[in-house]
């Protein structure tokens, strides 16, 4: 597991509670947190109620050492920090390994989803790339609330093998071969959750929220079909389900961030107050660039971009947006 945040801690819990035999190795950058986990068996900063049952020697800030004997490498840092995290690694380090992206974001500057980035920059073959998606907040995993995940890969064998390592009393899994669609949908729903938070912050109610989200799923559908036109049901939980949970849940980082923006916080002060990362903030900038190629009609994404990057007023931008929705 590469990453020490909430989602990494939640997936470590699933993998530990699952009964398939396996050995876990965990890399994180924060050496104080590593010492704390070794001593007290809990991550001090994220999901601190979760008990960690990994041998001390298998938790380290030495990334090459941690991945050396792994068959599956789960990337689980916010996309904005992925390049920095992998900086000392090259294609040889990942050769022959299955790389699982638990990240719901786009690599800044490269403007690539994680699968494309791994394939292009590290030469990881598509059949060795997996994506964890679906509506699932780390906080609910810690509480063992029933949750469903979708494991996507062009290799059904790999997807099923990895899914088999996550299933527990509270986790159900299904597999998909739509790696591009699930990744893009997971990125986009973060932008719409930011929009949902902004609307709430400026004073719109549940009625408007429902219209916003019905338009958001159509935006996702249009975009993923433009990028990767295959037959898919956008109402499945990896697409619509993830949009709904992120747009409505009290646990959503993206919605919380948007809500603060709607209430008048600056981007900096909202980020400082959160201590967690809202991927939608970075993603909307990358999507703005990516969509110059595809030219998909995305009024909600455009409005969020205007508010966050062009400093437009949330009140005025949402008013203008409301006139385009139906």
- Residues near ligand 13P, by CB under 6 A: 104, 135-137, 190, 193, 242, 245-246, 251-254, 279
Active site residue 311: no
Judge whether 53 is annotated as a binding position. no
Active-site residue identified among 13, 22, 97, 189: 189
The site partner of 6 among ligand NDP, ligand 13P, none (C-beta below 5 to 8 Å per kind) is ligand NDP
Judge whether 306 is annotated as a binding position. no
The least CB distance from residue 10 to ligand 13P, in Å, is: 10
The site partner of 182 among ligand 13P, ligand NDP, none (C-beta below 5 to 8 Å per kind) is none
Specify whether the CB–CB gap between 134 and 150 falls below 8 A. yes
Judge whether 104 is annotated as a binding position. yes
Please give the Cα distance from 220 to 236 (Å, whole number): 13
Select from 8, 107, 188, 286 the one that contacts ligand NDP (CB under 6 A). 8
Locate 169 and state its tokens.
């009393």
Angle of CA points 210, 170, 59, to nearest 5°: 110
Pairing of β 72-75 and β 26-27: unpaired
**Does residue 281 belong to the site contacting ligand NDP (CB under 6 A)?**
no
**Does residue 7 belong to the site contacting ligand NDP (CB under 6 A)?**
yes
CA nearest 151: which of 72, 235, 252, 54? Answer: 72
Please give the Cα distance from 239 to 254 (Å, whole number): 16
Please give the Cα distance from 238 to 319 (Å, whole number): 30
Judge whether 226 is annotated as a binding position. no
Select from 279, 283, 300, 302 the one that contacts ligand NDP (CB under 6 A). 279
CA nearest 108: which of 145, 79, 70, 128? Answer: 79
Tell which positions 33-52 bind ligand NDP, by CB under 6 A. Answer: 45-46
Q: Which residues are catalytic?
A: 189
Annotated binding site for substrate: 104, 253-254
């Amino acid at each position: 597991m590469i990453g020490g945040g909430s989602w990494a801690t939640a997936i470590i819990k699933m993998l530990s509670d699952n009964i398939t035999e396996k050995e876990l190795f965990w890399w994180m950058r924060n050496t104080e947190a590593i010492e704390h986990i070794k001593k007290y068996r809990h991550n001090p900063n994220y999901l601190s109620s979760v008990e960690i049952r990994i041998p001390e020697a298998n938790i380290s800030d030495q990334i090459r050492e941690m991945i050396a004997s792994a068959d599956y490498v789960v990337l689980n840092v916010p996309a904005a920090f992925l390049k920095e995290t992998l900086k000392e690694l090259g294609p040889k380090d990942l050769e022959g390994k299955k790389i699982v992206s638990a990240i719901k974001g786009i690599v800044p500057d490269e403007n690539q989803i994680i699968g494309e980035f791994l394939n292009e920059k590290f030469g990881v073959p598509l059949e060795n790339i997996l994506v964890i998606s679906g509506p699932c907040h780390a906080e609910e995993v810690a509480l063992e609330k029933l949750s469903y995940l979708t494991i996507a890969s062009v290799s059904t064998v790999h997807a099923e093998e990895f899914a088999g390592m996550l299933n527990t009393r509270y986790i159900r899994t299904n597999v998909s071969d739509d790696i591009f669609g699930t990744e893009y949908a997971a990125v986009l729903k973060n932008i719409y959750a930011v929009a949902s938070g902004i609307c709430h912050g400026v004073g719109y109610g549940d009625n408007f929220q429902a219209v916003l989200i019905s338009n958001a799923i159509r935006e996702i559908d249009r975009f993923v079909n433009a990028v990767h036109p295959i037959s898919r049901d956008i109402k499945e939980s990896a697409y619509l389900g993830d949009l709904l949970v992120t747009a409505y849940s009290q646990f959503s980082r993206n919605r919380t961030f948007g809500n603060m923006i709607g209430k008048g916080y600056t981007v900096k002060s909202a980020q400082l107050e959160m201590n967690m990362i809202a991927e939608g903030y970075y993603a909307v900038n990358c999507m703005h660039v990516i969509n110059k190629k595809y030219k998909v009609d995305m009024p909600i994404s455009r409005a969020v971009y205007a508010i966050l990057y062009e400093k437009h007023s949330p009140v005025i931008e949402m008013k203008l947006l409301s006139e385009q929705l139906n």
